Structure 1
Amino acid sequence: MRLNYEATGPADTPVVLLGPSLGATTAMWAPQLEVLSQRFRVVAFDHRGHGKSEVPTGPYTIDDLGGDVIELLDGLEVEQASYVGISLGGAVGLWLAQNAPERFHRFVLLCPPANPAANAQMWTDRAAQVRAEGTKSITDATLGRWFLPEFADLAPVRQMLLDTPDEGYAACCEALGSTNLLPGLADITAPVLLITTDSDTSIPPETVVPLATQIPGAHLEIIENAAHLVTYSHPVVINPLLLTHLG
């Protein structure tokens, strides 16, 4: 499985992978790239079914999505990296922390869904809707969950959603609908920074906050006056947290 990726920053510095949200691409990390690439070799990738990555027929599983990241590391000949993931990318990060701990130094997981299978029918229904009506049918509702009403610069993010292949989006919904990462949280050994927001209706903070007591040594930050796609809307707050945790 070939994932599209974009690498920036000095080749001789530690590698940081950036795993995006459902319906997003490498472009969602624009507010982070300049800052992070001054200190790290930054590899932003598109999940399977998204952006310029291949679009196999679904459904996908979290094992598929996590395995793609390991394959990407292998292809880049990178033995160890740190990982930053948001939303779907956060779920993939939890999987990687549990299933490939030897490949990662540190994790930053923003608004991660740890047990989306608890709402399996919602994901099944959304996958069916997108296959039938396209991502345009869920774009306005998604943007309403991703940002608070006062955030105005929606055009680039709207286009990302509209450009996402329908099958890729739907198949990743199905991956989330079959994922429960709670049983393995206590086995995570890497340092983890968890970030949630006070106004996230996609992955409500009450589902993220408890993870900080279930993942050994995890640190929790709750961002105020922010919704789901907090990396894009609040980089002035998020970027210093990333730099501090990633070292």
Structure 2
Amino acid sequence: MTQSYSFGLRTGEGEQHVSARDQHTITTRDRFRLAVQVSGPPQAPALLLLPGQANSHAWWDGLRSDFEPQFRTVTFDYRGTGGSRGELGVLSTASFAADAAEVLDQLGIARAAVYGTSMGGRIAQMLALNFPDRVSALVLGCTTPGGPHSIKRPREVGRSLARLRGREHTQYLFSLFYTPDWTGAARCSKLLGDDTMTPQESAAHLRISASHNAFDRLPEITAATLIVHGDEDLMNPVDNAHLLHERIANSRILICRGGRHGFFEEFAEVVNPEINGFLHDVS
């Protein structure tokens, strides 16, 4: 069943809260060192939060605390972001999902709820497909199944993202994430990319997102799934949410009226309680 909401707005600047968190470094199967962050009650169920393309765990700053009364939240910096730097090699959403499984392993977490947004939603799909026993519930935000059946962003959006540079590019990206009612400034957003990344690292992340294709395998997902999306998302059109809903059995869908690609932050006061309620219901 599709649910649709018109949500109240956060004001943006001055309201973010960054939770105190434990910092870890793990070494993966191929000797890559990943920076990992954990916060929330140590004995609570785990919630793995997966950020978008070309972003570190900072994507979740100001948001993860909404989940911490109920969950022990876990993030990690993708290869090429934040504190996870080194030779990147061949990467994919499946390899990042394998990294996520190793993070859970080394933290001693057998199963976790998983919430991924944008590219993080692509990685979450692969985690649920390739490591089904590790995923207790799944939330897919502003994401896509990928492949030829997915709905591409408008051509002009892609052209503008490729053509614009500097401040113009930042402001255009900001307009794709937030509505004009959002009072925060682009410089304060945690969603517009990790500016410590090299061009090579950013390009690698772009290839990871672009090559994702889970469409044929989505019916294999057995975890209870909630799909959330904004209906004015030009970065990743909302029709992709409906594709995911059709392909994943017994999934639920929640559409945010007026939401753009960063709807999960702009409308967090209503979105996050809905997600918490879903995770409570299926746990």
TM-score, normalising length: structure 1: 0.87
Aligned residues of 2:56 and 2:77 also touching (Cα < 8 A): yes
- Cα distance 1:205–1:243, how it changes in 2: closer, same or farther (>3 A)? same
- Find 2:127's aligned residue among 75, 79, 96: 96
Aligned partner of 2:188 in structure 1 is 156
- Cα distance 1:158–1:32, how it changes in 2: closer, same or farther (>3 A)? closer
- Find 1:30's aligned residue among 56, 61, 66: 61
Q: Counterpart of 1:38 in 2: which secondary structure?
A: coil
Q: Counterpart of 2:246 in 1: which secondary structure?
A: helix
1:85 partnered with 2:116: yes
Aligned partner of 1:177 in structure 2 is 210
Question: Partners of 1:24 and 1:231 in 2: how far apart?
Answer: 16
TM-score, normalising length: structure 2: 0.77
Question: Partners of 2:100 and 2:190 in 1: how far apart?
Answer: 26
Q: 1:106-125 deviations in whole A, cap 9, x for unaligned?
A: 01110112115666xx9xx9
Question: Partners of 1:26 and 1:92 in 2: how far apart?
Answer: 14
Q: Counterpart of 2:104 in 1: which secondary structure?
A: helix
Question: Partners of 1:46 and 1:114 in 2: how far apart?
Answer: 23
Aligned partner of 1:43 in structure 2 is 74
Aligned partner of 1:188 in structure 2 is 221
- Cα distance 1:28–1:57, how it changes in 2: closer, same or farther (>3 A)? closer
Letter in 2 for 1:173: L
Q: Which residues of structure 2 form unaligned runs of 5+?
A: 1-31
- Cα distance 1:221–1:110, how it changes in 2: closer, same or farther (>3 A)? same
Bigger Cα Rg: 2
* RMSD (Å) for aligned C-alpha atoms: 2.7
Aligned partner of 2:105 in structure 1 is 74
Question: Partners of 2:94 and 2:191 in 1: how far apart?
Answer: 28
Q: Which residues of structure 1 form unaligned runs of 5+?
A: none
- Cα distance 1:5–1:116, how it changes in 2: closer, same or farther (>3 A)? farther
Question: Partners of 2:54 and 2:237 in 1: how far apart?
Answer: 18
Letter in 2 for 1:161: G
- Cα distance 1:55–1:173, how it changes in 2: closer, same or farther (>3 A)? farther
